[in-house]
Amino acid sequence: MNDLKRIAVFTSGGDSPGMNAAIRAVVKTGLYYNLETFGIYRGYQGIVNDLISPLKKKDVLNILPLGGTILKSARCKEFMTPEGREKAYGNLKKHKIDALVAIGGDGTFTGAKVFMNEFDFPVIGLPGTIDNDLFGTDYTIGYDTAVNTVVSAVDKLRDTAYSHDMVFIVEVMGRDAGFIALRSGMASGAGKILIPETKTHIDELLERLQRRMSEEETSAIIMVAEGDDFGGAMEVKKIVNERFPNLSTRVTILGHIQRGGSPSAFDRVLASGLGYQAVKGLVEGISGVMVGSVNRQIEFVPFDKSIKHHDKINLELKSITEILAL
């Protein structure tokens, strides 16, 4: 793309720690390649509503450690219509923008693919989601920070669980994928991990609690992904209370706290590297792909693959965790 002069970056979908590091990398790499960089505020809604303005070096100073996204995010039903996308294209042309960097997840890339195909408009995506479920990258921006947030919270809960002989059932994000529950559960020594990828056998959980009680271990952590097929933490608590009415059981739903906070060093490095590669890719004429990191090597994965194929969870980690929790 020898005629590339102006690019724009936006964040879409759920926010994730490290998005600001990615924005910073896009702006600074753009400067290196003598490109003008624009920021689009509120995701696809911002393209439709013309919330587009230049991003200068001063605009990204000191944002590396910030959680959330300085460009904000929003849902946009209008962009799902041909009329909305036509309006968005007109706004980009008005600002003489030649290419886009889209930071987000599955929904973000789906919209980018449709827009790119309709208007032959160059787009490169960055995997910004705490769920870590996108095909074509070992880690997504924000996942490491989210896992560390959960582990920190569970470490504190364990103190109370031990002090009062309590069982804490901790629900974490993961409507369709159990990556956060699995890795944070392993790191925090959970006695049982319930995730969407495997069927929940509630009798196994009850038997494990019974064994712990017979060994006078009356405190435990049970990690539950919100998309677990049993129905989440509250349903698990109901069954545990029915079987063990004298056992003190509490539910903690961590919710959106997992999305916030200053990104970890790992997420800052990942986001910075992927942001650089996105701009470099556009300069080299690459489009229609997500930039991922596989085995520490940069991979350009077509949107089709990253959207249609979700990354597979490592179920061996679940087996290891359950053995270590005996």
Tokens of 240: 């545990």
74 in Cβ contact with 107 (< 8 Å):
no
The residue-averaged pLDDT of 276-289 equals 97
Q: Please check whether residues 25 and 106 belong to one and the same domain.
A: yes
Who has greater pLDDT, 317 or 30? 30
223 in Cβ contact with 190 (< 8 Å):
yes
pLDDT bracket for residue 219 (50, 70, 90): confident
> What integer pLDDT is reported at residue 70 of this predicted model?
97
Q: Please check whether residues 226 and 108 belong to one and the same domain.
A: no
**Residue range 244-282, pLDDT digits in tens:** 998 899 999 999 999 999 999 999 999 999 999 999 999
CA nearest neighbour of 137 among 307, 305, 301, 293: 293
Instruction: Examine residue 316 and state whether it is found in any structural domain, yes or no.
Output: no
Q: Please check whether residues 75 and 101 belong to one and the same domain.
A: yes
pTM for the full model?
Answer: 0.92
> What integer pLDDT is reported at residue 306 of this predicted model?
85
> What integer pLDDT is reported at residue 275 of this predicted model?
98
Count of residues in the chain: 326
> What integer pLDDT is reported at residue 308 of this predicted model?
65
Instruction: Examine residue 135 and state whether it is found in any structural domain, yes or no.
Output: yes
Q: Please check whether residues 96 and 138 belong to one and the same domain.
A: yes
Instruction: Examine residue 234 and state whether it is found in any structural domain, yes or no.
Output: yes
> What integer pLDDT is reported at residue 203 of this predicted model?
86
CATH number at residue 227: 3.40.50.460
Q: Please check whether residues 14 and 135 belong to one and the same domain.
A: yes
C-alpha torsion angle, residues 284, 309, 298, 2 (rounded to 10): 10
- Token look-up 């490095």 returns 269
The residue-averaged pLDDT of 128-140 equals 92
Q: Please check whether residues 11 and 130 belong to one and the same domain.
A: yes
> What integer pLDDT is reported at residue 209 of this predicted model?
87
Task: Please identify, among 227, 244, 259, the residue that sits at the C-terminal boundary of a domain.
Answer: 259
Q: Please check whether residues 21 and 117 belong to one and the same domain.
A: yes
CATH number at residue 44: 3.40.50.450
The residue-averaged pLDDT of 129-152 equals 95
What is the 3 state secondary structure string of the chain?
A: CCCCCEEEEEECCCCCCCHHHHHHHHHHHHHHCCCEEEEECCHHHHHHCCCEEECCHHHHCCCCCCCCCCCCCCCCCHHHCHHHHHHHHHHHHHCCCCEEEEEECHHHHHHHHHHHHHHCCCEEEEEECCCCCECCCCCCECHHHHHHHHHHHHHHHHHHHHHHCEEEEEEECCCCCCHHHHHHHHHCCCCEEECCCCCCCHHHHHHHHHHHHHCCCCCEEEEEECCCCCCCHHHHHHHHHHHCCCCEEEEEECHHHHHCCCCCHHHHHHHHHHHHHHHHHHHCCCCCEEEEEECCEEEEEEHHHHHHCECCCCHHHHHHHHHHCC
Q: How many domains are contained in the chain?
A: 2
Instruction: Examine residue 73 and state whether it is found in any structural domain, yes or no.
Output: yes
Q: Please check whether residues 137 and 71 belong to one and the same domain.
A: yes
Tokens of 253: 């739903």
pLDDT bracket for residue 309 (50, 70, 90): low
> What integer pLDDT is reported at residue 281 of this predicted model?
97
> What integer pLDDT is reported at residue 218 of this predicted model?
77
Q: Among residues 98, 106, 131, 311, which one is catalytic?
A: 131
Instruction: Examine residue 152 and state whether it is found in any structural domain, yes or no.
Output: yes
Q: Please check whether residues 137 and 12 belong to one and the same domain.
A: yes
**Residue range 14-26, pLDDT digits in tens:** 999 999 999 999 9
Task: Please identify, among 228, 243, 259, the residue that sits at the C-terminal boundary of a domain.
Answer: 259
Residue 280: other Cβ atoms inside 10 A: 16
Q: Please check whether residues 160 and 280 belong to one and the same domain.
A: no
Q: Please check whether residues 164 and 214 belong to one and the same domain.
A: yes
- Environment class of residue 318 by beta-carbon count within 10 Å: exposed (0-12), middle (13-18) or buried (19+)? buried
Q: Please check whether residues 119 and 208 belong to one and the same domain.
A: no
**Residue range 63-75, pLDDT digits in tens:** 999 999 999 998 8
Instruction: Examine residue 245 and state whether it is found in any structural domain, yes or no.
Output: yes
- Token look-up 């890339």 returns 109
Instruction: Examine residue 1 and state whether it is found in any structural domain, yes or no.
Output: no
The residue-averaged pLDDT of 219-231 equals 90
Does the pLDDT at position 1 exceed 60?
no
Instruction: Examine residue 319 and state whether it is found in any structural domain, yes or no.
Output: no
- Least confident stretch, 108-112, 175-179, 215-219: 215-219
The residue-averaged pLDDT of 158-175 equals 92
For residue 70, the enclosing domain spans 6-142+263-308
Who has greater pLDDT, 135 or 314? 135
Task: Please identify, among 219, 243, 259, the residue that sits at the C-terminal boundary of a domain.
Answer: 259
Does the annotation mark 131 as catalytic?
yes
> What integer pLDDT is reported at residue 197 of this predicted model?
87
